[in-house]
Amino acid sequence: MCGIVAYIGKKQAYPIILKGLKRLEYRGYDSAGIALLHDNQINLYKRQGKVANLEEFAANKDLNGTSGIGHTRWATHGAPNDVNAHPHYSTDGNLALIHNGIIENYDTLRKELILHGYVFKSETDTEVLVHLIDDIQKNEHVSIAEAVRLALLNVVGAYAIVVISKENPNQLIAARKSSPLVVGIGGEGDFYLASDATPIVEYTKRVVYLEDEEIAIVDLNDGLKIFNINNQEKTPYIQQLELQLEALEKGGYEHFMLKEIHEQPRSIRDCFRGRMNADEGWVSLGGIKEYEQKMINAQRIVMVACGTSWHACLVGEYLFEDLARINVEVEYASEFRYRNPIINENDIVIAVSQSGETADTMAALELAKSKGATILGICNVVGSSISRITDAGSYTHAGPEIGVASTKAFTAQVTVLTLMAVSLAHKKGTISETKFHTMLAELEAIPEKVKMVLEKNDIIEKIALEYKDATNALYLGRGSSFPVALEGALKLKEISYIHAEGYPAAEMKHGPIALIDEEMPVFVIATKGTSYEKVVSNIQEVKARKGKIIAIVTEGDETVKEIADHVIEIPDTDEHLVPILATIPFQLLSYHIAVMRGCNVDQPRNLAKSVTVE
Ligand code: M6R
DSSP state of 194: E
Condensed to tens digits (0 to 9), the pLDDT of residues 425-461 reads: 999 999 999 999 999 999 999 999 999 999 999 999 9
- What average pLDDT does this structure show over 535-558? 95
Of residues 2, 271, 306, 599, which has the active-site annotation?
2
Q: Which residues contact 302 (CB under 8 A, 6 or more apart)?
A: 328, 329, 330, 331, 336, 341, 343, 347, 348, 349, 350, 368, 373
Atom nearest to 305 CA in ligand 1: 4
Rounded CA-CA distance 357/224 in Å is 24
Annotated active-site residue 289? The verdict is no
Q: Which residues contact 250 (CB under 8 A, 6 or more apart)?
A: 256, 259
- Percentage of the chain with pLDDT > 70? 100
pLDDT at 611 over 80: no
Instruction: Name the residue ranges covered by the structural domains of the chain.
Output: 3-247, 250-455, 456-614
Measured from the CB, is residue 353 less than 6 Å from ligand 1?
yes
Residue among 195, 313, 406 to mutate when testing ligand 1 (max atoms within 8 A of CB):
406
Residues forming beta bridges with residue 95, ordered by sequence position: 165
Condensed to tens digits (0 to 9), the pLDDT of residues 244-296 reads: 877 788 888 999 999 999 999 999 999 999 999 999 999 999 899 999 999 99
Distances (CA, A) of 227 to 70, 186, 278, 314: 23, 20, 49, 41
Measured from the CB, is residue 180 less than 6 Å from ligand 1?
no
Measured from the CB, is residue 387 less than 6 Å from ligand 1?
no
Measured from the CB, is residue 604 less than 6 Å from ligand 1?
no
Rounded CA-CA distance 279/561 in Å is 36
Rounded CA-CA distance 189/356 in Å is 30
Q: Rounded to the nearest whole angstrom, what is the distance from the C-alpha of residue 495 to the centroid of ligand 1?
A: 13
Annotated active-site residue 609? The verdict is yes
Atom nearest to 409 CA in ligand 1: 3
Q: 3-state secondary structure string, 292-360?
A: HHHHHHCCCEEEEECHHHHHHHHHHHHHHHHHHCCCEEEEEHHHHHCCCCCCCCCCEEEEEECCCCCHH
Q: Look up residue 240 and give its amino acid.
A: Q
Q: Rounded to the nearest whole angstrom, what is the distance from the C-alpha of residue 405 to the centroid of ligand 1?
A: 7
Q: Look up residue 317 and give its amino acid.
A: E
3-247 and 250-455 share one CATH topology? Answer: no
3-state DSSP assignment of residue 174:
strand
pLDDT at 372 over 90: yes
pLDDT at 610 over 80: no
- What average pLDDT does this structure show over 332-357? 92
Measured from the CB, is residue 358 less than 6 Å from ligand 1?
yes
Q: Rounded to the nearest whole angstrom, what is the distance from the C-alpha of residue 404 to the centroid of ligand 1?
A: 8
Measured from the CB, is residue 309 less than 6 Å from ligand 1?
yes
pLDDT at 76 over 90: no
Q: Which residues contact 50 (CB under 8 A, 6 or more apart)?
A: 25, 29, 32, 603
pLDDT at 563 over 90: yes
Residues forming beta bridges with residue 37, ordered by sequence position: 42, 67
pLDDT at 77 over 90: no
Condensed to tens digits (0 to 9), the pLDDT of residues 476-511 reads: 999 999 999 999 999 999 999 999 999 999 888 898
Contact 34, 92 (CB under 8 A): no
Minimum CA distance residue for ligand 1 atom 4: 353
Q: Rounded to the nearest whole angstrom, what is the distance from the C-alpha of residue 259 to the centroid of ligand 1?
A: 18
3-state DSSP assignment of residue 182:
strand
The CATH homologous superfamily for domain 250-455 is: Glucose-6-phosphate isomerase like protein; domain 1 (3.40.50.10490)
pLDDT at 75 over 90: no
The per-residue pLDDT of the chain, averaged, comes to 94
- Percentage of the chain with pLDDT > 90? 86
Q: Rounded to the nearest whole angstrom, what is the distance from the C-alpha of residue 228 to the centroid of ligand 1?
A: 31
Of residues 46, 50, 449, 609, which has the active-site annotation?
609
pLDDT at 551 over 80: yes
Measured from the CB, is residue 307 less than 6 Å from ligand 1?
yes
- pLDDT category at 1 given cuts 50, 70, 90 is confident
Measured from the CB, is residue 554 less than 6 Å from ligand 1?
no
Terminal CA-to-CA distance of the chain, rounded, Å? 10
pLDDT at 207 over 80: yes
Comparing 176-185, 248-257, 588-597, the range with the smallest average pLDDT is: 248-257
Total residue length of the chain:
614
Q: Rounded to the nearest whole angstrom, what is the distance from the C-alpha of residue 275 to the centroid of ligand 1?
A: 25
pLDDT reported for residue 137:
95
Q: 3-state secondary structure string, 55-83?
A: HHHHCCCCCCCCEEEEEEECCCCCCCCCC
User: For 167, how many CA atoms within 13 A lie in the half-sphere containing its CB?
Assistant: 17
Condensed to tens digits (0 to 9), the pLDDT of residues 512-540 reads: 888 898 889 999 999 999 899 999 999 99
pLDDT at 613 over 80: no
H helices of 481-577, in order, are 482-496, 532-544, 559-563
Measured from the CB, is residue 494 less than 6 Å from ligand 1?
yes
Contact 499, 580 (CB under 8 A): no
Q: Rounded to the nearest whole angstrom, what is the distance from the C-alpha of residue 426 to the centroid of ligand 1?
A: 31
- pLDDT category at 194 given cuts 50, 70, 90 is very high
pLDDT at 26 over 90: no
3-247: CATH topology: Glutamine Phosphoribosylpyrophosphate, subunit 1, domain 1 (3.60.20)
Atom nearest to 307 CA in ligand 1: 12
Atom nearest to 381 CA in ligand 1: 1
- What average pLDDT does this structure show over 383-395? 92
Would you give the distance in Å from CA 489 to the centre of its chain? 18
For domain 456-614, is the CATH number 3.40.50.2300?
A: no
